[in-house]
Chain A
Amino acid sequence: MSKFQGLDAYIRRDGYELLPFKFDRLEGDDYVITNMTGEHLVVPMEELRALLSKDLAAEHPLYASLRAKHFIRYADEQAPLDLLALKLRTRLSRLAGLTSLHIFVVTLRCDHSCPYCQVSRQMDGEAFDMTPEMADKALDFVFRSPNPAIKIEFQGGEPLLNFEMVRYVVEAAKRRNLVEKRDLEFVIATTLSLLTDEVLTFCHEHDIILSTSLDGPADLHNANRPRVGRDSFERFEDGLAKARNVLGVDRVSALMTTTDKSLPRVREIIDEYVRLGFNGIFLRALSPYGFAIKTRKFMTYNTERWLEFYKEGLAYILELNKAGIPFVEHYASLILKKMLTSNDPGYVDLMNPAGAGIAAIVFNYDGSVYASDESRMLAEMGDQSFRLGNILTDSYEDIILSDVLLDALEQSFTLSAPMCSDCAFEPYCGAEPVFHHAIFKDVLGRKSESSFCKRNMTIFKHLIRLMQSDASTRRLFMQWANAC
């Protein structure tokens, strides 16, 4: 007789127990099951039934994967619990750092007059500029954050119209950081239309990243972004080349805004990004804030139409990759990080508890402090619900422990929110109290009517189906998941 025992001798048959997981129909008879650490598996209905009634045979091909992904275990096994705990801690580890992104709205003045823009003003004078006193107070606040990594992002309006304030904040922050020794990063959100050599020299000297806007081909970009001279795109392209030249090709990123004019043109938009040498695009939906609602721009297309646009764009991007052009869709890559890794990308819209205030915070030109960029846009529309205080008069504690913030975080918490708490896609989603307040006037909203919910659920399912149906897409998605 052999000294070795066969596989059979090692297969346990003493009955498994279920670890916590949730499920939802993917399509047809296929269900997706997920656990709190974001592990997922697609399981046909019949197997799901057997799994739940603890009748699934140990020989079933899914069985080993269910164990490895920690959906089931044997009662005496400790490693699955240790690993689940470890992965959950890792996913939530950002929370302990508290606020990292600090947005300084240095001015509301802008040289563009985009119809969908929430906040900008076409005027001269200093009524819409941040003052040095506010900036000093805001920096006091920034360095009260316990986060070892601090990002300061300048927004507007067009921040370059108040470049003196950008310079002031950067220099003051760096002086303080000699003692604080944080990992300090600066970003300017700019259209590049007013970029000068002086600005670029300063950005180079202080290692500042430029985050800019590109909506697609010249005619679309210029139609979306009117400016005196109708030369927004030309100025962008010119500024992009100059900025890359001085700062480095990876120090300039671009974001796009989807308008009704963009919807039939997703391939052209992506082609424009490829032509200009970007290695990815963020296909964003138009947000329901500010002038977008006022001018009814938001109402001109619905979520279904946007999802079509998104899926068409993603399919085209997958084609490009198969043709040997590496190109990423950034929204997918943020979600894929939640699906395929044990890390969280820290993307404010898809965080739970919500990212408002505790992942990002906004210091407005007038001294108001807001829980998020969307919150100040809402405020420009007259809704002050997420105004946390005033930087000149309120303390750090007043602001970060304000009822406005804590109530919003607590009430929108997805693990207790109706319909979220038992949603299989909850591990990939976020609380988003500001969006739901803007639409429903309460931070929870009605999920069955929520376009946020519909948009994200559809994308989650779409990404899982794509991975399920094509191994090479799954491999590509693994790379995306680890690239952000």
Chain B
Amino acid sequence: MVLRTTRAFLVSSQELPEGYQHYLIPEPLEWRVRELEGKSSFTLLPNDYNYLGHNDIIRLDGQAIRVLFRANSGHNSLLVTEQCNHYCLMCSQPPKNIDDSWILDELEALIPLIPRETPEVGFSGGEPTLAGRRFINLIRMMKSYLPRTVVHVLSNGRTFADEHFARQYAEIAHPDIMIGIPLYSDDPDLHDYIVQAPGAFQETVQGILNLKRLGQKVEIRIVLHKQSISRLPQLCEYIARNLLFVDHVTLMGLEMIGFTRANLDALWVDPADYRDVLSEAVGILAAYRMNVSVYNHQLCLVNDDVLPYYRKSISDWKNEYVPECDGCARKSQCGGFFSSGVRNGYSRAITPFLV
């Protein structure tokens, strides 16, 4: 009973228990409003929210309903800030230069509410580390409240070039956290162009070095497009030679959303046209015994030698297939497409595997 005073109850057709702080009534059950009127506070949930379930976390702000955390999703990603010191040509989440520290207030309130058995939580942005000490605090809270939850942070790594900041982060000693850092070229100028920030390459590399020097896990993330493909094998050799100690390298297909659409001419290359370059890149990293994964690609667009590293990475609720996929015998092993991007175009070479 004591717990009820801290929670909202999601109304079903069953009997209504008493004593909850708040009640959420799905639209089809609107008739049950009568049972609560005058007794308890309640909110009507429009049909758009019919996916909500046990242990989910939402925010009610006047009439606005925002879903902060979904307990039954393995892919909860928490946006820390929309500010960023990059302005990447292919950004899927275009940055905004506004004070959004209210998001941090919200996250600080959210973390203690997240179920303790949650397997994984991601932090993204913008650039999460621009929150500075409050970013450090978020990671510390993750360790304190959710010590068994794996944490994955998407960062451009530049803030970690500051040794003091890197040390503060490392001293949290989170048991299972990885920072995913993009590195798009071995040519500093090309990397800086792709992320639209002069000097970014130098800081990112030093950030990676600082993190690894402090024993922290780092993943290098390479989004594949016309610019990064142009020196991809050289980039992989650079990584193998200079950053062999990173924990994971991911090679990711381009998502057709956000800024990508504005920069399509500079970015688009059909994955069918770079499949041999992808094979070479994977071959280099694998030869050096690096842990490598290929994400966001369709099975029919990669050579067989890539298959051991191919990951069906697009989550079930975000992926879909195109008409060309009809009758494909390997659909279940294929990641398919991001539903958010596929309507904006895809490879001309999608071909079903026939048995």
Chain A partners chain B = yes
B188 to A342, Cβ gap below 8 A?
no
Interfacial chain A residues near B241, Cβ < 8 Å: 39, 87, 340-342
A10 to B193, Cβ gap below 8 A?
yes
A478 to B287, Cβ gap below 8 A?
yes
Interfacial chain B residues near A10, Cβ < 8 Å: 189-190, 192-193, 198
Contact of A482 among B188, B189, B287 (CB under 8 A): B287
A12 to B189, Cβ gap below 8 A?
yes
Tell whether A11 is near chain B: CB-to-CB under 8 Å: yes
List the A residue with the shortest CB-CB distance to B192.
A10
A4 to B234, Cβ gap below 8 A?
no
A67 to B187, Cβ gap below 8 A?
yes
Contact of A86 among B209, B240, B263, B284 (CB under 8 A): B209
Tell whether B353 is near chain A: CB-to-CB under 8 Å: no
Q: A83-B242, A87-B242, A341-B241 are in contact. Are A7 and B289 (CB under 8 A)?
A: no
Q: A4-B89, A478-B287, A482-B288 are in contact. Are A65 and B198 (CB under 8 A)?
A: no
The distance from the CB of B185 to the nearest CB of chain A, in whole angstroms, is 8
How far is A2 from B89 in the complex, measured between Cα atoms in Å? 11
The distance from the CB of A288 to the nearest CB of chain B, in whole angstroms, is 36
B189 to A82, Cβ gap below 8 A?
no
The distance from the CB of A360 to the nearest CB of chain B, in whole angstroms, is 26
Tell whether B92 is near chain A: CB-to-CB under 8 Å: no
How far is A82 from B205 in the complex, measured between Cα atoms in Å? 10
Interfacial chain A residues near B287, Cβ < 8 Å: 475, 478-479, 481-482
List the B residue with the shortest CB-CB distance to A477.
B287
Interfacial chain B residues near A481, Cβ < 8 Å: 287
How far is A475 from B233 in the complex, measured between Cα atoms in Å? 11
B205 to A64, Cβ gap below 8 A?
no
Tell whether A9 is near chain B: CB-to-CB under 8 Å: yes
A68 to B186, Cβ gap below 8 A?
yes
Q: A64-B187, A79-B202 are in contact. Are A4 and B209 (CB under 8 A)?
A: no
B187 to A341, Cβ gap below 8 A?
no
Contact of A82 among B188, B198, B206, B259 (CB under 8 A): B206
List the A residue with the shortest CB-CB distance to B280.
A475
Tell whether B244 is near chain A: CB-to-CB under 8 Å: yes
Report how many residues on chain B are interfacial, defined by Cβ distance under 8 Å: 33
How far is A481 from B240 in the complex, measured between Cα atoms in Å? 12
Tell whether A183 is near chain B: CB-to-CB under 8 Å: no
B187 to A68, Cβ gap below 8 A?
yes
How far is A7 from B263 in the complex, measured between Cα atoms in Å? 13
List the A residue with the shortest CB-CB distance to B210.
A82
Q: A64-B187, A478-B287 are in contact. Are A9 and B193 (CB under 8 A)?
A: yes
Tell whether A5 is near chain B: CB-to-CB under 8 Å: yes
Tell whether A77 is near chain B: CB-to-CB under 8 Å: yes
Tell whether B23 is near chain A: CB-to-CB under 8 Å: no
Interface string of B283-315 (1 = CB under 8 A from A): 110011100000000000000000000000000
A78 to B238, Cβ gap below 8 A?
no
How far is A39 from B238 in the complex, measured between Cα atoms in Å? 10
Interface centre among B202, B231, B238, B283 (most CB of A within 10 A): B202
Tell whether A175 is near chain B: CB-to-CB under 8 Å: no
The distance from the CB of B295 to the nearest CB of chain A, in whole angstroms, is 23
Interfacial chain A residues near B188, Cβ < 8 Å: 67, 77
Tell whether B124 is near chain A: CB-to-CB under 8 Å: no
Interface string of A1-22 (1 = CB under 8 A from B): 0111111011110000000000
The distance from the CB of A449 to the nearest CB of chain B, in whole angstroms, is 35
A78 to B189, Cβ gap below 8 A?
no
The distance from the CB of B315 to the nearest CB of chain A, in whole angstroms, is 30
B206 to A341, Cβ gap below 8 A?
no
Tell whether A58 is near chain B: CB-to-CB under 8 Å: yes
Interface string of B81-93 (1 = CB under 8 A from A): 0000001010000
The distance from the CB of B207 to the nearest CB of chain A, in whole angstroms, is 10
List the B residue with the shortest CB-CB distance to A471.
B280
Interfacial chain A residues near B193, Cβ < 8 Å: 5-7, 9-10
How far is A471 from B284 in the complex, measured between Cα atoms in Å? 12
How far is A77 from B206 in the complex, measured between Cα atoms in Å? 10
Interface string of A58-93 (1 = CB under 8 A from B): 100000110110000000011100110011000000
Interfacial chain A residues near B288, Cβ < 8 Å: 341, 478, 482
DSSP class of A's interface residues: helix, strand, loop or mixed? helix
B234 to A83, Cβ gap below 8 A?
no
Interfacial chain B residues near A12, Cβ < 8 Å: 189
Interface string of A427-445 (1 = CB under 8 A from B): 0000000000000000000
Interfacial chain B residues near A475, Cβ < 8 Å: 280, 283-284, 287
Tell whether B319 is near chain A: CB-to-CB under 8 Å: no
The distance from the CB of A163 to the nearest CB of chain B, in whole angstroms, is 38
The distance from the CB of B238 to the nearest CB of chain A, in whole angstroms, is 5
The distance from the CB of A444 to the nearest CB of chain B, in whole angstroms, is 32
A64 to B186, Cβ gap below 8 A?
yes
Tell whether B118 is near chain A: CB-to-CB under 8 Å: no
Interfacial chain A residues near B238, Cβ < 8 Å: 68
How far is A79 from B200 in the complex, measured between Cα atoms in Å? 11
A79 to B234, Cβ gap below 8 A?
no
The distance from the CB of B353 to the nearest CB of chain A, in whole angstroms, is 25
List the B residue with the shortest CB-CB distance to A82.
B209
From 210 to 257 in chain B, residues with beta carbon under 8 angstroms from any chain A beta carbon are: 231, 234, 238, 240-242, 244
From 3 to 19 in chain B, residues with beta carbon under 8 angstroms from any chain A beta carbon are: none
Contact of B87 among A3, A9, A39, A82 (CB under 8 A): A3
Tell whether B351 is near chain A: CB-to-CB under 8 Å: no
From 161 to 206 in chain B, residues with beta carbon under 8 angstroms from any chain A beta carbon are: 185-190, 192-193, 196, 198, 201-202, 205-206
List the A residue with the shortest CB-CB distance to B231.
A64
Interfacial chain B residues near A86, Cβ < 8 Å: 209, 242
List the A residue with the shortest CB-CB distance to B188.
A67
A7 to B189, Cβ gap below 8 A?
yes
Q: A64-B190, A68-B238 are in contact. Are A79 and B205 (CB under 8 A)?
A: yes
Interfacial chain B residues near A479, Cβ < 8 Å: 287
A65 to B234, Cβ gap below 8 A?
yes
The distance from the CB of A74 to the nearest CB of chain B, in whole angstroms, is 9
The distance from the CB of B94 to the nearest CB of chain A, in whole angstroms, is 10
How far is A82 from B209 in the complex, measured between Cα atoms in Å? 9
The distance from the CB of B75 to the nearest CB of chain A, in whole angstroms, is 30
Q: A4-B87, A475-B283 are in contact. Are A58 and B189 (CB under 8 A)?
A: yes
Interfacial chain B residues near A77, Cβ < 8 Å: 188, 202
From 96 to 143 in chain B, residues with beta carbon under 8 angstroms from any chain A beta carbon are: none
The distance from the CB of B338 to the nearest CB of chain A, in whole angstroms, is 22
Interfacial chain A residues near B262, Cβ < 8 Å: 2, 4
Interfacial chain B residues near A478, Cβ < 8 Å: 283-284, 287-288
Listed by A's residue number, 10 A-B pairs whose Cβ atoms lie within 8 Å are A7-B193, A10-B190, A68-B187, A82-B205, A86-B242, A87-B241, A87-B242, A341-B240, A341-B244, A478-B283
12 more contacts with CB within 8 A, not counting A86-B242, A87-B242, A478-B284, are A2-B262, A4-B87, A4-B89, A4-B259, A6-B193, A68-B186, A68-B238, A82-B206, A475-B283, A475-B284, A475-B287, A481-B287
List the 8 closest pairs (A to B, CB-CB), nearest first. A64-B187, A68-B186, A10-B193, A478-B287, A79-B205, A10-B192, A7-B193, A479-B287
Q: Please give the residue numbers on chain A whose beta carbons come within 8 Å of chain B beta carbons, in ascending order.
A: 2-7, 9-12, 39, 58, 64-65, 67-68, 77-79, 82-83, 86-87, 340-342, 471, 475, 478-479, 481-482
Q: Please give the residue numbers on chain B whose beta carbons come within 8 Å of chain A beta carbons, in ascending order.
A: 87, 89, 185-190, 192-193, 196, 198, 201-202, 205-206, 209, 231, 234, 238, 240-242, 244, 259, 262-263, 280, 283-284, 287-289
